[in-house]
Amino acid sequence: MQPFQLTTLSQSSLQDYMDCAQRFKLRYLDRLSYPAVETEPALENEKHQQEGEYFHRLIQQHLIGIPAEQIARFANTPNLQRWWENFQTARDLTGLRKILQTRREKPGDVSALYPEANLSAPLGQYRLLAKYDLIALQDDKVTIYDWKTYRKRPRNEWLSGRMQTRVYRALLVRAGAHLNHGKPFEPEQIEMVYWFADFPEDPARLTYTSLQFHRDWDHLVKLVGEIASASAFPLTDDREKCLFCTYRSYCERGIQAGDMEQAEAEMEAEELFDVNFEQIGEIAF
């Protein structure tokens, strides 16, 4: 099969490459769609994922100006109700709610919110793309918010090592100048906040430094150089990863799907439960 000419990379594709080069090849070069059930129980997990996607859309609508009372009417399942209530009351989101309020009361305020912002920058022969849940500017600080509807709170160390954390912060330095009057953000101005809808008072706050930025960007350059020149995409040696992988029967790495609780406990299958914005439908308010 003639491989697809890949021109863009994202945190998801890079994470796939890190997890299993073969998965990266099948998904992004061969474009092989192989709809195996990724986790069990399948129906319950699919519902949870759909609710997670819908929740992202509710927050996005609120951030662009739809009043909370109106949004609350659409939070019409127990999960959505709880998440929305948590979003409204979480102490850690007080700063964000203040920005929203100030913006309503003083339209000239310099604080700025960019929900679902897209950034991109050249990286080797590719373009690196990222879609952020929210970039919030206040004073000289910039916060990347990412909403998570995981059933378990992952460890900060695990989150720090994820490609999402490394790509989102580094790309904001490389490609975020237009949000900062044409001046690139200093890494020290940036903080990434993973806010967990089911653990509202325990977000992960990951600050950034110039040293980390240079380390991350060097790592990304090296990684894409490796991808560009790769002639083989081996199967991972870590068979645990196959348990939650859609290609496992194709690779002859088992038929049975992994268990959702186990997946989340190990947090090995993040992409299964993360939100793909392209899949989110519009909500008519």
Minimum separation from the CB atom of position 251 to ligand SF4 (A): 3
Number of residues that bind ligand SF4 (CB under 6 A): 13
> Residue 83: exposed, middle, or buried by beta-carbon count in 10 A (0-12, 13-18, 19+)?
buried
Q: How far is CA 79 from CA 116, 188, 193, 245, 267, in A?
A: 22, 36, 21, 26, 20
Query: Footprint of ligand SF4 on residues 12-51 (CB under 6 A)?
Result: 20, 22-23, 26
Of these, 56, 57, 162, 248, which contacts ligand SF4 (CB under 6 A)? Answer: 248
Question: Shortest CA distance to 198 belongs to which of 39, 15, 51?
Answer: 51
Which residue's CB is nearer to ligand SF4, number 26 or number 172? Answer: 26
DSSP string, 38-71: -EESHHHHHHHHHHHHHHHHHHHHHHTT--HHHH
C-alpha to C-alpha distance for 177 and 180, rounded to whole angstroms: 5
Of 219, 180, 231, 267, which is closest to residue 25 (Cα–Cα)? Answer: 231
Judged by CB under 6 A, the stretch of 39-47, 127-135, 211-219, 247-255 that binds ligand SF4 is: 247-255
Nearer to ligand SF4, 50 or 236 (CB): 236
> Of residues 57, 162, 174, 241, which one binds ligand SF4 by CB under 6 A?
241
- Residue 21 beta carbon to ligand SF4: minimum distance, rounded to whole angstroms: 8
To ligand SF4, the closest distance from the beta carbon of 154 in angstroms equals: 20
Cis amide leading into 234 (omega within 30) = no
Q: How far is CA 128 from CA 16, 164, 175, 249, in A?
A: 15, 12, 10, 31
Residue with tokens 């129980």: 41
Residue span binding ligand SF4 (CB under 6 A) among the ranges 77-85, 118-126, 139-147, 235-243: 235-243
Segment 171 to 210, residues that bind ligand SF4, using CB under 6 A:
none
Residue showing tokens 């007080």: 94
Among 95, 253, 259, 267, binds ligand SF4 (CB under 6 A): 253
Q: Which stretch binds ligand SF4 (CB under 6 A): 3-11, 91-99, 115-123, 243-251?
A: 243-251
- Using the rule CB under 6 A, give the single segment among 6-14, 183-191, 203-211, 236-244 that binds ligand SF4: 236-244
Report, in angstroms and rounded to the nearest whole number, the Rg of the chain calculated over CA atoms.
19
**Could you say which of 159, 245, 269, 275 contacts ligand SF4 (CB under 6 A)?**
245
> Residue 138: phi, psi to the nearest 5?
-150, 130
Gap between the Cα atoms of 81 and 79, Å rounded? 5
For the CB of residue 187, give the shortest distance to ligand SF4 in the complex, in Å. Answer: 33
Measured from the CB atom, the residue of 169 and 248 that comes closer to ligand SF4 is 248
Rounded to a whole number of angstroms, the minimum distance from the CB of residue 120 to ligand SF4 is 27
Q: Which residues bind ligand SF4 (CB under 6 A)?
A: 20, 22-23, 26, 235-236, 241-242, 245, 247-248, 251, 253
